[in-house]
Chains A and B, each alone.
Chain A
């Protein structure tokens, strides 16, 4: 089956630093990837849609200057949390659509971010 990886799996950083999270589709090309955030005891919340070679589309309320998304290749999208603060501590999950099959999304294992 299709595999999506994320790196790192967890990260602890100091307030004010920037953190980059990678999402890779290992055995397929993904023109579209999604970034989600999940707070404890809550469901996934879509942050942005990442399209290869173009600017990401952000959901309402998500600051695009704070959460920088780059989808430079068909197998890699990155999310950079700039000037991280404790309230950014969360579980970040990516998913990828295989080719043009919009109905099928493959999820990454997630990245747990703790900002001190």
Chain B
């Protein structure tokens, strides 16, 4: 069992739909990252959370430390949101990140 699990693995949506990607983890963490990777490969850090909720534009990220679960929401999805979304956690001890396998999102016009 992976320490970080994402669901779904693949997600196809129509433009305008509300999207949710989930991340569950099994270790104690000090922070959780949501990353976006476009087809060209470059990675953009979307959020870094240690508690509560953050919002940036159409993106919202929440984390429940007790339940060891985080969600990434995209409102009014757009084809340019098509990318792989990766959840990564920084364990309480050490400096390394542990990555989920990613969620491939495709938003069709």
Residues of A within 8 A of B (CB): 32, 34, 38, 42-44, 46, 49, 91, 93, 97, 102-110, 112
Residues of B within 8 A of A (CB): 30-31, 33, 35, 41-45, 48, 50, 86, 88, 90, 95-97, 99-102
* A105 x B97 contact (CB < 8 A): yes
* B35 x A46 contact (CB < 8 A): no
Helix, strand, loop or mixed for chain A's interface? strand
Q: Which residues of B contact A43 (CB under 8 A)?
A: 86, 99-102
Helix, strand, loop or mixed for chain B's interface? strand
* B90 x A102 contact (CB < 8 A): yes
Whole-angstrom CA separation of A43 from B102 in the bound complex? 7
Q: Which residues of B contact A91 (CB under 8 A)?
A: 41
Whole-angstrom CA separation of A103 from B63 in the bound complex? 15
Identify 18 new A-B residue pairs, CB closer than 8 A, beyond the known A43-B100, A93-B43, A112-B41: A32-B95, A34-B96, A34-B97, A38-B41, A43-B99, A43-B102, A44-B88, A46-B97, A49-B95, A91-B41, A93-B41, A97-B95, A102-B90, A104-B31, A105-B97, A106-B45, A107-B44, A109-B43
